[in-house]
Amino acid sequence: MPIDELPDSQALFDGAACALAVTAEDGTLLRVNRCFCDWLGMAAHELHGRRFQDLLTMGGRIFHQTHLAPLMQMQGSIAEVKLDLRHRDGHAVTILLNAVKRDHPSGVRHELALFGTTDRDKYERELLNARKLAEALLLEKTAAQTALQQAQAELNQAYIKAQRRAQFAEQMVAIVSHDLKNPLTAIKMASDFLARGERTAKETQLIGHIGQSSERAQRMIADLLDFTQARVGVGIGVSPSPLDLHDVTQRAVDELRVAFPRATLVHHPIGAGETCLDGDRLQQIIGNLVANSVTYGDLQQPITITSQLNHDGPSLSVHNHGPVIADSLMGVLFEPMTRGTDQDCDVRSVGLGLFIVREIAKAHGGDVAVSSQVGSGTTFTVCFQAPHLHKC
């Protein structure tokens, strides 16, 4: 736009977007623009001749006299001073005052520029509210973090205590189980010795009960010792050696027929039998699975033990015709102290049999699985990863 098309100074002064005023050195208003008049609800002729400080509230007049006037005299300007002007109807109009002192031939003049604070105050309030909210959220977060840290510390302490108690309990189980082996061995030897002589039928029956009970106690102690080893991180030890899978299984079945005379045990060998496994642990697996089948299976039908060796490796399975295992038990069936029923049984151990079966299988690099369906019964299958015979 050419310079000659710009508004003249009077138009710029009157139409400015802020309130403008010129005063004498004592504050007398000499000139005001339209915005200044509108903010105070007065006409220009009503304002001419009045002092600027007289338009302020009482607090503003005091501040003007004690601070603003001396500042103007000393430094010749002031910037962004917040004041309240009185409107014609009495309400306060809050403004920010900028002023500069200039010397003119006719005398000293103060040029004033006044800016409204409504939007700025609103923004500052919102900013202050946001800050307060942020501080409150920070306090809540800090409190939550402190509470979480305290809870974690308490949980850690509780966990440490629980670990110590568990280790102590496992150590006690191991110690007691180990110490019980000697007296039980003595009882078993004494019952075997007494059984050799001539006895009445009643005495023979009682001696048989003693022998069976001592054998059951020994099995329970063996389970507890194996459980303790597995829980303390040592793991169940195995010593693989060359053996015939079918021969070991057959010997175990023959011994179990004596231990469980009410059960019908059938052995099915499949394939060749030469492999490399821990024979004692193998018999322990068979004993635990058969004992489980005797406890929960239908003894009116046979329990089938299958030993198999194929290209996938050696495996053992024990099948019974008992009721289906509940779905709720499937996920925890191989956990320690898990029982499929609350009933007591002479052949039942302390709820460690299946757990130990799984641990022995894992020690051989294998695992155990179970299948239980209506009409077809329940089958436990243990698969091994046995080393080649020339590496055994």
Q: Identify the pLDDT of residue 369.
A: 94
CATH classification code of 3-116: 3.30.450.20
The SS3 of residue 155 is: helix
CB 102 within 8 A of CB 111: yes
CB 18 within 8 A of CB 38: no
- Say if residue 343's pLDDT is above 70: no
CA distance 13 to 19: 9
What's the token pair of residue 120?
């700025």
Residues 201-234: tens digit of each pLDDT: 887 788 777 877 777 777 777 776 677 666 655 5
Element (H, E) at 212: helix 201-231
Q: For the chain, where do the domains classified as CATH 1.10.287.130 start and end?
A: 123-231
| 350-379 mean pLDDT | 88
If you ran DSSP here, which 8-state letter would residue 331 be given? T
Q: Identify the pLDDT of residue 246.
A: 95
The SS3 of residue 89 is: coil
Residues 265-304: tens digit of each pLDDT: 999 999 988 999 989 889 889 988 998 999 899 999 999 9
Superfamily of domain 241-391: Histidine kinase-like ATPase, C-terminal domain (3.30.565.10)
Q: For the chain, where do the domains classified as CATH 3.30.565.10 start and end?
A: 241-391
CA distance 303 to 257: 11
Q: For the chain, where do the domains classified as CATH 3.30.450.20 start and end?
A: 3-116
CATH classification code of 123-231: 1.10.287.130
Residues 306-317: tens digit of each pLDDT: 999 988 889 999
Q: Identify the pLDDT of residue 350.
A: 54
Per-chain mean pLDDT for the chain: 85
CA distance 220 to 118: 87
CA-based nearest residue to 316, from 261, 350, 360, 346: 360
Residues 71-100: tens digit of each pLDDT: 999 999 999 999 999 999 989 999 999 999
Contacts of 248 (CB under 8 A, 6+ apart): 277, 279, 282, 283
| 124-136 mean pLDDT | 86
Q: Model-level pTM greater than 0.85? A: no
